[in-house]
């Protein structure tokens, strides 16, 4: 055993098509020194297996690349892609914001007064946003639920005359007036059909409630005016009362809703 150990070289040089390496014989020499032949044999077998695996022919790189591309082209890998420039930019911005927040809050211990000021500023900002949202909600609800009654509307106009007035307003580019006249054409049509009473003191929302909730004892109307009248009412509130502007598409949509109410348009 000692003679075998002394005959071993200090290192073996292993060469493969891909690389060349040097393997130390020190582990084997240690096993032979401890007179453990079984462990030495296991080490030699392991080394031989490694050398055999290294010397086996490897798949060509171009072939491996084409096989990898074929696998990645499958549907289950469709979402697998490198990060885009936009993704990298967002990540950098998020990291920068995180660093700024960390720097800001880490300095609060050194400046307690500044921390209190920052806390109250944040609290006031949140309260202001909530108050602004609540104000807008209440203003919108009040505007839609309590619209003023329309005044100086000729009660003798027929729905045909209202449609004619709407088209004349649209032809001169006054789509706000066109939407307004189209709404009252719809009301006149419902008055002719007996769906709503001839009472021009009612607000648009009151007309809509009359359609949704008919007076007890009256026959159900043959028309189904709820949806088109709701569209005309919503557009009138937005364009006429809220004065948010109107365009050709608003006028054309009003005409379609008039047709749904039974107005025969040319």
Q: What are the start-end ranges of the H helices in the chain?
A: 2-7, 26-33, 37-55, 61-72, 85-106, 112-145, 159-171, 175-192, 204-212, 226-236, 248-260
At 63-106, the pLDDT tens digits run 777 877 777 777 666 666 677 888 889 999 999 988 887 877 77
Residue 174: its pLDDT value, please?
93
The DSSP bridge partners found for residue 232 are none
Give domain limits for the chain: 2-53, 108-145, 159-260
Question: Cα angle at 118 between 116 and 121, to 5 degrees?
Answer: 110
Hunting for tokens 């106009």 — which residue is that? Answer: 157
143 and 242 Cβ atoms separated by less than 8 Å: yes
Residue 224 DSSP label = -
Question: Which tens digit of pLDDT belongs to each residue from 151-192?
Answer: 444 456 899 999 999 999 999 999 999 999 999 999 999 998
């Amino acid at each position: 055993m000692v003679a075998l150990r002394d005959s071993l070289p200090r290192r073996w040089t292993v060469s493969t098509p891909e690389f060349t390496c040097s393997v130390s014989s020190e582990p084997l020499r240690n096993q032979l020194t401890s007179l453990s032949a079984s462990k030495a044999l296991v080490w030699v077998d392991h080394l031989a297996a490694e050398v055999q695996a290294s010397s086996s022919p490897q798949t060509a790189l171009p072939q491996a690349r084409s096989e990898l591309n074929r696998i990645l082209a499958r549907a289950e890998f469709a979402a697998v892609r490198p990060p885009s420039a936009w993704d990298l930019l967002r990540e950098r911005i998020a990291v920068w914001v995180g660093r700024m927040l960390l720097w800001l809050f880490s300095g609060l211990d050194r400046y307690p007064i500044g921390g209190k000021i920052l806390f109250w500023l944040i609290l006031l900002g949140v309260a202001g946003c909530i108050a602004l949202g609540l104000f807008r909600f209440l203003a919108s609800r009040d505007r839609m639920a309590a619209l003023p009654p329309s005044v100086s509307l000729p009660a003798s106009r027929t729905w045909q005359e209202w449609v004619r007035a709407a088209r004349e307003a649209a032809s001169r580019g006054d789509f706000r007036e066109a939407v307004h006249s189209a709404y009252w054409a719809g009301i006149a049509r419902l008055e002719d059909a007996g769906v709503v009473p001839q009472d021009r003191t009612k607000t648009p929302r009151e007309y809509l409630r009359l359609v949704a909730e008919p007076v007890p004892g009256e026959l159900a109307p043959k028309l189904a005016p709820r949806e088109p009248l709701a569209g005309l009412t919503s557009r009138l509130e937005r364009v006429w009362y809220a004065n948010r502007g109107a365009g050709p598409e608003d006028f054309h949509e009003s005409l379609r809703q008039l047709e749904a109410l039974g107005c025969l348009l040319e």
